[in-house]
Amino acid sequence: MPTYNAPLDDMLFLYEKLRNNKNYNELEKYKEVTSDLVKNILEEAAKINQNIILPLAKSGDENPTKFENGIVRTPPGYKEAYKKFIEDGWTSLSCDTKYGGQGMPRTVSAFFDEMISSASLSFKLYSELSLGAYNCINHHGSDVIKNKFLPKMVEGKWSGTMCLTEPVCGTDLGLLKTKAIEQQDGTFKLTGQKIFITSGDHDLTENIIHLVIARASDSPKGTKGISLFLVPKFIVNDDGSIGPRNGISTGSIETKMGIKGSATCVLNFDEATGYMIGPKNKGLSSMFTMMNLERIVVGIQGLGLSEIAYQNSLNYAKERKQGKSNKNNSQNGNADFIIEHADIRKSLLNMKSIIEGERALCFWLSQQTEVSLNHNDIKIKQEASDLVSLMTPVVKSLFSDMGMEITSDAMQIYGGYGYTKDQGIEQLYRDNRITPIYEGTNSVQAIDLVFRKLVNKNGDIISKYIKLIKSDLNNIKNDKIKPFSQKLNIYIDKLNDFSNWIKEKINTSKDDANAACNDYLKVLGLVAVAHSWIKVLEVSYEDYESNKEFYEDKIQTANFYFNRVLPRIESHYLSAITGSEYIMNFKFN
Amino acid sequence: MPTYNAPLDDMLFLYEKLRNNKNYNELEKYKEVTSDLVKNILEEAAKINQNIILPLAKSGDENPTKFENGIVRTPPGYKEAYKKFIEDGWTSLSCDTKYGGQGMPRTVSAFFDEMISSASLSFKLYSELSLGAYNCINHHGSDVIKNKFLPKMVEGKWSGTMCLTEPVCGTDLGLLKTKAIEQQDGTFKLTGQKIFITSGDHDLTENIIHLVIARASDSPKGTKGISLFLVPKFIVNDDGSIGPRNGISTGSIETKMGIKGSATCVLNFDEATGYMIGPKNKGLSSMFTMMNLERIVVGIQGLGLSEIAYQNSLNYAKERKQGKSNKNNSQNGNADFIIEHADIRKSLLNMKSIIEGERALCFWLSQQTEVSLNHNDIKIKQEASDLVSLMTPVVKSLFSDMGMEITSDAMQIYGGYGYTKDQGIEQLYRDNRITPIYEGTNSVQAIDLVFRKLVNKNGDIISKYIKLIKSDLNNIKNDKIKPFSQKLNIYIDKLNDFSNWIKEKINTSKDDANAACNDYLKVLGLVAVAHSWIKVLEVSYEDYESNKEFYEDKIQTANFYFNRVLPRIESHYLSAITGSEYIMNFKFN
């Protein structure tokens, strides 16, 4: 079974040292969230993830969630762990104190999301969607609904889901068929089938609060006729007690490649009672409040699985002797630890430089998210919101794809042992394989980025972002960072050219933009991670003497990223700008 | 369950049209192998693979090989299929007629290897290692041994294995501990443990002929003290009948991520009787006769799994409606087939252009292999052998890695459905994941390429190879190929620069070469595939009028490869030449 040590040093470094963010520091809401408090929280988080949740990964893979006689049963150990999990208040970490939450910022809760993704993604999913549903209800629900449902959800006694997908509609929600018929009392009766519903049914909570998109009987076709409904598994009485079972049944659960401890359900709604959330026919935009935050969390899942894969392959490389390194002159077959071999070291540094860069980017994005939600100045709020919108598909796709690369490279370091079930490394790879798919496939993210996020009603967001990075680079005072910033400048110019090319193509040849969008997302992502490394480098040089070993590690890891990872941009750019005419004209047999 | 149609058109195209190879055409041995004969063989091969073997993939994944009371049992259907498989003579396809084989060249048998890899890799492995063992015995065994063992192996009644790996020695065979003690009658008693033995035990054949590397009691340490032994599961009497059980027992079988129908065994040798094959202490070089051919076949496995993944994702893309293409102006939610979307088309063409290019490269390599084994002119034979040596690690690694990319991209096209077991697509991905690991990990291949294959005792092989491609490009007469050859010339220059860089580093900084070797292998491989595409293009333009649709498809597919795949070289080259000092000096915690 893989081992796991939460990367507390790196997390606390980011929290304490990367706070040179004026807008974030102005937020009244988090003035009392001190470094000491955060340190305590993260240390406790490390304990529960390392000791209680980590073993659930293997348990869930070996004893997948079962569907028996209409009931979904989670794997052995899940119930006990979930009880402890909610008792210790982990479901409430980032929730509003008004409903019993702890009111921590995303700059803290994102670290928790990473840790629990490392420990057991399957187990994480039972509370993750609850938080998504919580956010959505909190933003769009009426006070009556909020007071009735949120406290129990924050407490973790009730969980939540997001019910979007149907058999003929995944990416394309305009095709949905689930109907909602309004009743005289203002409630609705929902009928239809939803599929791929994560935590759609299970035995961990007393109630499950489904957020369901459906079409009211008098609504138009397509995406403009979709409304959002809250549909509880059990009706909740006015006094808050659990009432009768609602008209929802579980049709089946999926047998999957990975995350086998997670229940992925087919849910049948048969005149189930629902309450409309937010305005009629605006369901998609309400749902996307939650989807966007959720997409960032999927990126963090990829980061978490990358981290545990890295840790274990590093340990293995230090223990496994095989082959002679180039420094070994022994003639009698003495082998070196494989960490002495240049190509193994390269592979490990590749993982480390991506992981730590991603974590820094994610921290910056968490700061921006909080500014976008809580800043008093509307202009600042809007600008932060645009940056979050821009980076959401990037983080979701880049981190999940890198998670595939890193979990695969970790397996490769184990050789044949990596392919067996004993080591648990292959499970990380299988578990991570869902992340480029769910919450909108990575291609959907790339299309969203290119067609909706680069330029929006507030202006040319990507140009503002590029200017922001350039201005950061121009303001660097330490000459030691020059070699890094010079390299990044080359690639920012490439990003700029690529952005101009793609903005033109959006108007003149949408297919060119579409065929280039995945490459474009990667280029933007690689630059964004490099930008985050620059921020880390600034602190590292400035603060060098206080913790030489730590900062030297950072500087050298960044150096690897700039030498070996950033040049990937070249190939993405060169291949993307060949256009799409020859692709669109191709006749597939 | 995935469907499969053997790509007979493409295979027959290669066999009939890409035979402009003087050295190959001079081989007396294959004068009678006509296109008609090959067509008949491949059509029959397609039938057994599509109808009998394909269903075994699912059967093996759902009912993995079992180990019960010391006996290894293959999945349901394997026995019946294997009986038919050997009755129809498929194990004997490329074997010497002297021992009952059909004497077909690798230019034919490689196509069969591809088809059966597409249909069921697990099932394939039960005969694949037999062929490896056959080749090794045929090259290095005495006549007595050959006459005793080969006819039954060719017939498929007995199977074979290659026993190399031990718990502490995988890549590094010098560490092996299995002992062989010589007896008075000239036989040996072998004692030790071998692990990861593919088809090490099973219930498909009457006997299993293990080829085992071990150290004779008076042999030196390290790789120079390793000899090769034939150790049958059952002793074979002088009259060829099966005698008593030899001292070999199965300790366990591995539980694996994929290829679950294949038995991967721990074998315990306890004073098992063995016969030395080839000269004492030269066991590794004898074994590598078989390992090298085997490595090419592993590349072909990646190709086969890529092909079936492509076929199924193409079919799915034609059936699944989701989202509007850029040409669709409908406002009411009408969706297009996803094959209308540029990024899906790009993904499919990426697969197709790699697969068909790889197949053409593999065909060229099969020709070279036959020349290296059978040409009358020793110089020509040697030159072909050097090219085969050069391309063996490239084909093994590139095709297996591309297999990961392609099976993953195919899953991605299926969206959420791809992650479920129902579709069988995720199995292709899991099954293929062993190919970058076994028969020497892809990093081991890359090290082998760089340190042993670029330059050898016969000279500067890579320079000869680059000259060969350049001369082919210079001889192109058709102007329509110019845009392709101009692009390739750019990358040949890069390959040349990279080769010179790496040859220098082999002498001045081995770690630089080591850290660059994986990137170097990719660059060489991408150029080699492009070179194969050039050969295909020459025929396509020359022969255009005879089959417009087929050749137009080839030209457009090649165009994609040159536009979108070949530029990957840029990033590999740029990142590799940053050296290794910063990698070797890094202090891992």
Q: Is B193 helix (H, G, I), strand (E, B) or coil?
A: strand
Which DSSP letter does residue B435 get? T
Q: How far is CA A124 from CA A32, A128, A301, in A?
A: 28, 6, 9
Helices of type H across A415-441: 416-419, 425-432
Chain B closest-CA separation from residue A556 CA (Å): 7
Select from A168, A340, A575 the residue whose CB has the most chain B CBs within 10 Å, as the one to mutate to test that interface.
A575
Q: Is B220 helix (H, G, I), strand (E, B) or coil?
A: coil
Nearest to A349 among B169, B347, B586 (CB): B586
> Would you state the structure tokens that stand for residue B439, as one six-digit string?
């028969």
Q: Which of A307, A439, A545, A570 is catalytic?
A: A439
Q: Establish if B192 belongs to a structural domain.
A: no
- Dihedral sign (CA B346, B348, B351, B355): negative
Residue B331 confidence class, pLDDT cut points 50, 70, 90:
low
Does the pLDDT at position B332 exceed 60? no
The confidence score (pLDDT) of residue A106 equals 96
Cite the beta strand spans of A455-503 per DSSP E: 455-456, 459-460
What is the value of pTM for the model shown? 0.97
Average pLDDT, chain A: 95
Cα(B224)–Cα(B218) distance, integer angstroms: 12
Residue B245 contacts residue B236 (beta carbons within 8 Å): no
Interchain pair A446, B511: CB under 8 A: no
Q: Is A550 helix (H, G, I), strand (E, B) or coil?
A: helix
The confidence score (pLDDT) of residue B52 equals 98
Select from A10, A125, A320, A419 the residue whose CB has the most chain B CBs within 10 Å, as the one to mutate to test that interface.
A419
Chain A closest-CA separation from residue B333 CA (Å): 4
| Contacts with A565 from chain B: Cβ below 8 Å | 575
Q: Establish if B544 belongs to a structural domain.
A: yes
Residue B550 contacts residue B480 (beta carbons within 8 Å): no
The tokens 């809250």 sit on which residue? A230
Nearest to A510 among B175, B326, B347 (CB): B326
CB–CB contacts below 8 A, A to B: 261
Cα(B146)–Cα(B139) distance, integer angstroms: 9
The confidence score (pLDDT) of residue A293 equals 86
Residue B190 contacts residue B226 (beta carbons within 8 Å): no
Interchain pair B342, A430: CB under 8 A: no
Cα(B383)–Cα(B398) distance, integer angstroms: 23
Nearest C-alpha neighbor of B580 from the set A379, A335, A473, A349: A349
Cα(A559)–Cα(A208) distance, integer angstroms: 48
pLDDT-above-90 percentage for chain B? 92
Chain A closest-CA separation from residue B52 CA (Å): 25
User: Tell me: the pLDDT tens digits for B368-403?
Assistant: 999 999 999 999 999 999 999 999 999 999 999 999
The confidence score (pLDDT) of residue B342 equals 95
Q: Establish if A510 belongs to a structural domain.
A: yes
Chain A closest-CA separation from residue B64 CA (Å): 13
| Contacts with A559 from chain B: Cβ below 8 Å | 582
CB atoms within 10 A of CB B186: 8
| Contacts with B316 from chain A: Cβ below 8 Å | none
Residue A199 contacts residue A211 (beta carbons within 8 Å): no
Interchain pair A255, B420: CB under 8 A: yes
Q: Establish if B338 belongs to a structural domain.
A: no
Does the pLDDT at position B175 exceed 60? yes
User: Tell me: the pLDDT tens digits for B492-501?
Assistant: 999 999 999 9
Select from B346, B559, B578 the residue whose CB has the most chain A CBs within 10 Å, as the one to mutate to test that interface.
B346
Interchain pair B255, A422: CB under 8 A: yes
ipTM of the complex: 0.96
Residue B238 contacts residue B149 (beta carbons within 8 Å): no
- B69 CB burial (10 A radius; 0-12, 13-18, 19+): exposed
Task: Read off the pLDDT of each residue in A295-302 and give the average, rounded to a whole number.
Answer: 97
Cite the beta strand spans of B172-317 per DSSP E: 179-182, 188-198, 207-216, 227-232, 234-236, 242-245, 248-253, 264-277
Does the pLDDT at position A171 exceed 80? no
Q: How far is CA A554 from the centre of its chain?
A: 24
> Would you state the structure tokens that stand for residue B453, as one six-digit string?
């294959």
The confidence score (pLDDT) of residue A331 equals 55
Q: Establish if A529 belongs to a structural domain.
A: yes
The tokens 């597919």 sit on which residue? B557
Q: How far is CA A460 from CA A147, A387, A456, B44, B422, in A?
A: 40, 11, 7, 61, 44
Q: Which domain holds residue A487?
A: 450-589
- Dihedral sign (CA B60, B62, B64, B69): negative
Query: Higher-confidence residue: B170 or A384?
Result: A384
Q: Are strands A188-198 and A234-236 parallel, antiparallel or unpaired?
A: unpaired
State phi, psi for B228 to the nearest 5 degrees.
-110, 135
| Contacts with A314 from chain B: Cβ below 8 Å | 588
Interchain pair A343, B437: CB under 8 A: no
The confidence score (pLDDT) of residue A173 equals 81
Chain B closest-CA separation from residue A471 CA (Å): 27
Reported as type and span, the H/E element at residue A251 is: strand A248-253
Number of domains chain B contains: 1
Q: Establish if A485 belongs to a structural domain.
A: yes
Q: Which residues of B are catalytic?
A: 439
Q: Establish if A454 belongs to a structural domain.
A: yes
Residue B167 confidence class, pLDDT cut points 50, 70, 90:
confident
Q: How far is CA A434 from the centre of its chain?
A: 12
Nearest to A348 among B331, B433, B588 (CB): B588
Task: Read off the pLDDT of each residue in A305-323 and give the average, rounded to a whole number.
Answer: 94
The confidence score (pLDDT) of residue A325 equals 80
Reported as type and span, the H/E element at residue A191 is: strand A188-198
Q: Establish if A557 belongs to a structural domain.
A: yes
The confidence score (pLDDT) of residue B330 equals 60
The confidence score (pLDDT) of residue B323 equals 81
Nearest C-alpha neighbor of B4 from the set B238, B354, B308, B220: B308
Nearest to B564 among A429, A567, A575 (CB): A575
User: Tell me: the pLDDT tens digits for A4-40?
Assistant: 999 999 999 999 999 889 999 999 999 999 999 999 9
